[in-house]
Amino acid sequence: MKRIAIFNADEEKEPLKQWGDFADMAVTMLEASRDSSTPEVEYKIFQVYRNEFPTLEELKDNGYIGLYITGSDYDAHDLETGWINKLRQFLRVMLHEPGYPPMTGVCFGHQIIATTMGCKVAPNPAGHEGGIAHLAVTDSAVEAGLFQKPEFDGPTKELYLSELHNDIVHEVPEGYINIASSEKCPIQGLYKKGLALTFQGHPEFITEAAIKCGESNYENGVITARELAEIRETGELHGNDGVFFAEYIWKLFKREI
């Protein structure tokens, strides 16, 4: 049986406990987006925030078709925490040497891949982004065949995704493209054919989860009452394309993109 490695980068969060930890949510999303032509896979979870890593050699064979890096409350630009530094070193090898499976990362996972590539990750001058955000798919992503809904007559240019972040990636690494932008975040993800596809947002968050996180952030003084109201409003007004985005994670892992 083929395998997907999941690098879980944080413990379970109270507002999200009904859905499990970030790794559990990743598995739920991937299974929801796996089509009938894709055989079942084994999900191998590594608690990297506890310094639990496989060896690089283990990922080079043993049937691994992809690596998924979860979100986290940790900062991807942290240079002091041991496991984060180790993760960057690990990813640097996978991104620059042949023979490893392609990778995807969400939120922290997106940002840690960017910092591994030497890009700046820092707080967003526009502030916190939460709820369901409107994403404008870039022309480069359309040209690469990403995130296109066949039921539309023309190119798919607008989608919606759960967001929960204060930091952003400030630059696109050489050889990659930016997949989308939102009002608050100009770089919503990175893509390089056959190697990596990342998301600043959380495709694994259903809308209810995004709202729960907003409510928790309000209770903890992270966001204002007005920001919470906006998060709730976006959840009511917009759909959530998380599972659709996840279909492209499968395409990456199957080497179709």
Whether 165 sits among the annotated catalytic residues: the reply is no
Given a cut of 90, whether residue 171 has pLDDT beyond it is yes
**Residue 150 lies in domain:** 3-253
Tell me which of 107, 119, 185, 213 is the catalytic residue: 107
Q: How confident is the model at residue 52 (pLDDT cuts 50, 70, 90)?
A: very high
* pLDDT tens-digit map of 172-188: 999 999 999 999 999 99
Q: Whole-prediction pTM value? A: 0.97
- Name the domain count of the chain: 1
Tell me which of 129, 163, 204, 227 is the catalytic residue: 204
Whether 128 sits among the annotated catalytic residues: the reply is no
> Residue 183: which CATH number?
3.40.50.880
- Give the mean pLDDT of 56-82: 97
Mean pLDDT across the chain: 97
Tell me which of 110, 128, 165, 202 is the catalytic residue: 202
* % of the chain surpassing 90 pLDDT: 96
SS3 for the chain, per residue?
A: CCEEEEEECCCCCHHHHHHCCHHHHHHHHHHHHCCCCCCCCEEEEEEHHHCCCCCHHHHHCCCEEEEEECCCCCCCCCCCCHHHHHHHHHHHHHHHCCCCCCEEEECHHHHHHHHHCCCCEEECCCCCEEEEEEEEECHHHHHCCCCCCCCCCCCCCEEEEEEEECEEECCCCCCCEECEECCCCCCCCEEECCCEEEECCCCCCCHHHHHHHHHHHHHCCCCCHHHHHHHHHHHHHCCCCHHHHHHHHHHHHCCCC
Whether 202 sits among the annotated catalytic residues: the reply is yes
* pLDDT tens-digit map of 75-126: 999 999 999 999 999 999 999 999 999 999 999 999 999 999 999 999 999 9
